[in-house]
Amino acid sequence: MSSISTNPLADASPLCRLNVQTMTARYAAASLSPLEVADAALARASAVQDRYNAFASIDRAGALAAAAAADERWRRGRPLSPIDGVPVTIKDIVQVQGWSVRYGSHSSSAAVCDSDAPSVARLRAAGAVLLGMTTTPEFGWKAVTDNPLHGITRNPWRPELTPGGSSGGAAAAAAAGAGVLHLGTDGGGSIRIPAAFCGLVGHKPSFGRVPAYPGSAFGTLAHLGPIARCVGDVSAMLDAMSGRDLRDWYQPIGNPPAFPPWRSAGPGWLTGPPRPAASCGRKWPRSWNGP
């Protein structure tokens, strides 16, 4: 397979290149809808799947239903959070209600989960549009991404190379524009390695910042954290996932993590139309009571 020397977003829709701040500013201004963005993200995920094999599964119906609900909230001026209506992917190692979590293994069960992991529940409560599951090496055990159930995942910058692992599917999807925010896990580099290999931002949060449950096979080494194309997006996702959950290994110890300011404000934390932002930095519009 030949190398690709151009940016993997070069053939992506402009809607697939937007960062969180610009996207949601346009939602607030009614110049763009979550349904339009979800449809573009789903189309992109399907278009690049044969090239990069980033997805273990895609939930088109669920994503469009979530986007329609987000669209209604934005039209009423009542978004749930700064990531309401933003496309998100989940690593195939984290529980999502109604989806099968296969860990990239034939030995796993195809039964659907009856509840969300705390991180996923928080993303859903923040209005995130869940696109699908991204690939992992079998049980997330190595720093490249291939597995017997779904095959080899490739790096969008150089498809003959690996995107790293074990959150390689998340990184490949992010680099290719198939979603904006991507949930990975990290025990010994599984967020940081693929982020580095694919030219992204990945963050392994402090213990207990993002509640981890059920427990990982890697015990207390494992964290859940964000991967995205810029720091501002990673920060927005981290804020949405952070919070108190005593099922986490570490959270019963010490004081609970601080909640992001918008969470305590409830619906209507957004007051007035935000100003469009030119960059993906941490400079949120003044009219936002969010981070």
What is the three-class DSSP state of 136? coil
Reported residue count of the chain is: 291
What DSSP string runs through 254-277?
SSPPPPPHHHHH-TT-B-SPPPP-
CA dihedral 184, 40, 58, 198 (to 10 degrees): -30
In angstroms, rounded to a whole number, what is the distance separating the alpha carbons of residues 151 and 162?
12
Distance of CA 58 to the CA centre of its chain: 13
Going by their DSSP bridges, the two strands 181-186 and 87-91 should be labelled as: parallel
Main-chain dihedrals φ then ψ at residue 160, nearest 5 degrees: -80, -5
Respond yes or no: is residue 81 known to be catalytic.
no
Which member of 81, 119, 166, 167 is catalytic? 166
190 is catalytic: yes
Which CA distances in Å does 281 have to 24, 69, 284? Answer: 14, 27, 8
Q: Which of 33, 167, 190, 235 is catalytic?
A: 190
Name residues whose C-beta falls within 8 Å of residue 108's C-beta, 6 or more positions apart in sequence: 101, 102, 149
Q: Which of 33, 91, 167, 242 is the catalytic position? A: 91
> What angle do the packed helices 60-75 and 20-28 form, to 10 degrees?
50
Give the number of other Cβ atoms within 10 Å of residue 38's Cβ.
26
Task: Tabulate helix, strand, coil % of the chain (nearest 5).
Answer: 30, 15, 55
Active site annotation includes 91: yes
Active site residue ranges: 91, 166, 190
